[in-house]
Amino acid sequence: MSKLNWLRQCSLSGIFLSAFCGPGLAADLTVGMPNWPSGQAAANIIKYGIEKQLGLAVDVREMGTMTIFAGLDAGEVDIHPEVWHPNFGSLIQKYVDDKKTVRLSPKEVSAKQGICTTRETAEKGGIKDVSDLTDPRKTAIFDTDGDGKGEIWIGASTWSSTTIEKIRARSYGYAETMTLLEMPEDVAMAAVDAAVATGKPIVFYCYSPHHVFELHDIVQLSEPAYDPAKWNVVLPADDTDWLSKSAAPVAWPASHFEIAFSAATAERLPKVASFLSNIDFTPEEITRMSYALQVERQDPAAYAQQWVSDHADRVGAWAK
């Protein structure tokens, strides 16, 4: 299977994400922790920052974004550390705009999303535009199992962006020439590391801020500019016939993310809402978080405790 060939590119095995903080005994707040590195780091920084500055007990629990939003709506979860736009557009529309049970921080972190490859692959294989992925003569370099189709990692199975990448692959046409792989990010990034080390071609979904751009010489494939008239994304949660009703043969729109918190939490603990609204992570800091957890394999909780200690004055300012 092509997925197994991708896994064989890295020497790491048994890499799995786990929950780093179990349920507490009398937590005042619960932070939902997503399964990507910067989200895990931010969730724990929020935990230790609030505990230090506001004296509240905070739980961090790993869960998917849809589960977090449902928890925010029901009052069972208080905070989501990294809500991406436009990825979570339907959830934002439902809970922030319509039901008004969730609020977003005014502080945004700018981001980008797309399809990437190594510079060596781009130059030697002629893979420079997304349209190149529809040419079987070019995609043959990504075929590791001889089935006539190349392989491309499009994200983790639980990510909203992965669903959108399925739509984009179908819209562009490379769903016919490429096998769309879904696997945990740490496994996929280990495969990228191995491909770079051995000079093998590789292509994958990418987003920034992210450490991969600091670690390797990565280039993003060109594609038609974003056009809202051509971006028609329907998610599985909204329609069982989502794929046939969707189309997105253009680049991602300008992306960003911010912290979300329950409206009930804001009313119950206004100082917490103020603290969250003051958090001002930069893209460079998000990249360093990703690098620390993904490359250096630092524990999210330990990393966050040190981060809060190293940025004591700034964290203190968030509480004012």
Asked if residue 184 is part of any domain, the answer here is yes
Write the CATH number for 82: 3.40.190.10
Asked if residue 24 is part of any domain, the answer here is no
Asked if residue 268 is part of any domain, the answer here is yes
Residue 139: which domain range? Answer: 2-12+111-220
Q: What does the alpha-carbon distance between residue 53 and residue 315 come to, in Å, rounded to a whole number? A: 8
In this structure, the answer to whether residues 7 and 123 fall within a common structural domain is yes
Q: Provide DSSP, 253-304.
A: PPEEEEEEEEHHHHHH-HHHHHHHHH----HHHHHHHHHHHHTS---HHHHH
In this structure, the answer to whether residues 7 and 135 fall within a common structural domain is yes
Write the CATH number for 208: 3.40.190.100
Q: What does the alpha-carbon distance between residue 71 and residue 84 come to, in Å, rounded to a whole number? A: 17
Tens place of pLDDT for every residue, the chain, 320 residues? 455 556 555 433 333 333 333 444 569 999 999 999 999 999 999 999 999 999 999 999 999 999 999 999 999 999 999 999 999 999 999 999 999 999 999 999 999 999 999 999 999 999 999 999 999 999 999 999 999 999 999 999 999 999 999 999 999 999 999 999 999 999 999 999 999 999 999 999 999 999 999 999 999 999 999 999 999 999 998 899 999 999 999 999 999 999 999 999 999 999 999 999 999 999 999 999 999 999 999 999 999 999 999 999 999 999 99
Asked if residue 18 is part of any domain, the answer here is no
In this structure, the answer to whether residues 103 and 84 fall within a common structural domain is yes
Asked if residue 23 is part of any domain, the answer here is no
**What residues pair up with 75 in beta bridges, in sequence order?**
none
pLDDT at 8: 53
In this structure, the answer to whether residues 57 and 174 fall within a common structural domain is no
Asked if residue 279 is part of any domain, the answer here is yes
pLDDT at 237: 85
Asked if residue 97 is part of any domain, the answer here is yes
In this structure, the answer to whether residues 182 and 62 fall within a common structural domain is no
Q: Provide DSSP, 12-60.
A: --S-----SS---SS-SEEEEE-SSHHHHHHHHHHHHHHHHHH---EEE
In this structure, the answer to whether residues 215 and 150 fall within a common structural domain is yes
The total number of structural domains that make up the chain: 2
pLDDT at 24: 40
In this structure, the answer to whether residues 196 and 289 fall within a common structural domain is no
In this structure, the answer to whether residues 115 and 77 fall within a common structural domain is no
pLDDT at 271: 98
